[in-house]
Amino acid sequence: MRRSFLLTAVCLLGITSSYAQTDSLMDMLDKTAPLSKKETVSATFKATRIINGSSVENLGAGVLDFRISHRFGQLNQGSQNFFGLDDATTRLGLDYGITKWLMVGIGHNTLNKEDDGFVKLKLLTQRKQGMPVSVSYFGNISIQTTPAPTLPAGDTWEYSNRLFFTNQVLVARKFNDWLSLQLMPTIVHYNLVDSTNSDNNTFAIGVGGRIKVSRRIAITGEYYYRLNNTDMLYNGSKTYNYASIGIDIETGGHVFQLMLTNAPGMTERTFIGQTTDSWSKGDIHFGFNISRVFTVVKPKEFRQ
């Protein structure tokens, strides 16, 4: 009788422990532990991008992320264009973690038929004692592959006219379990601009944040303020500062991002300096980011 009771108790304890582990899986990153000077702060953001712009988060070493980003047309186009759903821009991307501090990626954007590549370096990591922020460097190059324009006789179209460069410093702090903020000083270089009213270099300050509202849901936001080139034209249209608000939904270890934005473009040179839609005019786009992560190279501790 005693043996039967003990066996039953052990089985119940094992089942209870299994359910407890499942329920606590989403809380592991936020678990409070004894402070250590070397203990780093994790999960400042739950994705490698806040919305369009990069966060300080990197993929793990040997991890490949296939990302699909979609931006629909303007909501104020009305029912005739199904509130923008009949008009869409897509970016397909492959991001890869080479080491825990080095990440690279490539992508193709249907807007302007643009190819891009980037590198992200984690320079400093926030710690529970000592280092108050995380710091990363982000560098991007993009190439517009649309056909060359027809020029007057004697003029030539240089390949370098298609190139754009972005350099950013990402500075972020996780203040507590529910609030993270990030600052992004940025330089976007356009090889070809209208020199009568624009400079080749656009300087901007970006701010982004994440507010966790439940175990699986967080509200995110981004805004970039241009310090110069505020009168910059793009295809003859006035440009505006970029702003987005979104929702992160954690689903089984992945993050599904929904957002409202005034930028249909998803590369830094387009949404920072060449956004021609305005929130005040109702030029708002619905969009989403979704990714699938693959472990290409197993961590050392799992190779056995």
Whole-angstrom distance, CA of residue 41 vs CA of residue 124: 11
Whole-angstrom distance, CA of residue 140 vs CA of residue 55: 14
Please, are residues 215 and 25 in contact by the beta-carbon 8 Å criterion?
no
Kindly list the structural domains of the chain, giving each domain's residue range(s) and its CATH number in brackets, ordered by start: 39-145+159-293 (2.40.160.40)
For residue range 231-274, list pLDDT tens digits in order: 888 888 999 999 999 999 988 767 899 999 999 999 999 999 99
Confidence of residue 51 (pLDDT cuts 50, 70, 90): very high
Q: What share of the chain is helix, strand, coil (3-state, %, to 5)?
A: 20, 45, 40
For residue range 109-132, list pLDDT tens digits in order: 998 899 999 999 999 999 998 899
Residue 5 pLDDT > 90:
no
Q: What is the pLDDT of residue 11?
A: 42
Three-class HEC string of 223-244: EEEECCCCCCEECCEECCCCEE
Confidence of residue 196 (pLDDT cuts 50, 70, 90): confident
